[in-house]
Amino acid sequence: MPKFLRIGIHQSNVSGYTSKAWWIRRVGSTVFLKWGAVEVDGAGDGRRVYWTLPPREKAIRCGTVQRANDYVKNAIARRGSHRYEPLAGSIAIRRRPANRGTELEQVSATILFVDIVRSTEKAARLGDSRWARVMTHYYAAVRKEMKTLRGKEVVTTGDGLLATFKAPAAAVRCATAIHEAVRTLGLDIRVGLHVGEYKVSGPDVSGLAFHIGARVAAKARAGEVLVSSAVKDLMSQSEVRFKDRGIHQLKGVPKRWRLYRVDR
């Protein structure tokens, strides 16, 4: 069950940052993939890695065991040279200790999840140094648009970002502005938006709404801004135009959701 951690500008002796992890397993002629954002705590032998959100998953049916073995071998070879390092330990779900001095507060907001499309291939083509510079400009552009529209950054996810907004219109405007801003860097992004409630306890946030936002983003194609029906229902027709993208089952999320593409 090989696992890999994206190194980026960090090395194995650095602690306290977010990155991406990648996991692969073969069962018969089927290959199972799992990937997503992780938090890295500690360094060296004491390092611990935690999923920050439920990881994305994919099953690839190769037809034969030999093809599945070849797929796994080639996939591992690519990760071995694309700024990833082998990860020996497990990836856990963080269990945060209860803070009795801080009460849980329930908040409603618009959640924005943005992710770079085919980031691994772009990083491999540019090399570590150039990719690090691109990522610096990328996050600067994203945060500039967020500041303009009063978004609140929650967490970075290696090459993506999770943020909240008080109003859905501001979140939609920010998503389209980010898309235009990062095009000058040669990057394509996908964005997902959802409105929902979540819990706040000090610096920590949690709730199904974040997972729904991430799953909406996962359904977006390169260059698309997708929103859930919860976002569309809160906006007037004069604010933005939407195109129906049908009803989708979001992985791990109860019931099916109708999604809409923002027409720019």
Residue 68 lies in domain: 3-93
Question: Domain check: are 55 and 112 in the same one?
Answer: no
pTM (predicted TM-score): 0.65
Whether 100 maps to a domain, the answer reads: no
Question: Domain check: are 61 and 184 in the same one?
Answer: no
pLDDT of residue 220: 93
CA distances from 38 to 74, 129, 156 (A): 24, 22, 10
* Interval 110-152: pLDDT, tens: 999 998 998 888 888 888 788 888 888 998 999 999 999 999 9
Domain total in the chain: 2
> Percent of the chain, pLDDT > 90?
30
Strands 3-6 and 84-86: antiparallel
CA distances from 142 to 62, 149, 228 (A): 38, 11, 22
- Residue that finishes a domain, picked among 69, 93, 117: 93
* Interval 14-57: pLDDT, tens: 444 566 777 888 888 888 888 777 777 765 566 677 777 777 78
Residue pair 41/92 in contact by the 8 Å Cβ criterion? no
Whether 99 maps to a domain, the answer reads: no
pLDDT of residue 68: 87
CA-CA distance, 164 to 143, in Å (whole number)? 12
User: Which of 9-13, 57-61, 202-206, 236-240 shows the lowest mean pLDDT across its residues?
Assistant: 9-13
Predicted confidence (pLDDT) at residue 165 exceeds the cutoff of 90 = yes
To the nearest 5 percent, what fractions of the chain are helix, strand and coil? 30, 40, 30
pLDDT of residue 109: 92
Question: Domain check: are 86 and 110 in the same one?
Answer: no
pLDDT of residue 26: 83
CA-CA distance, 100 to 32, in Å (whole number)? 40
Between 185 and 22, the more confident residue is: 185
CATH number at residue 128: 3.30.70.1230
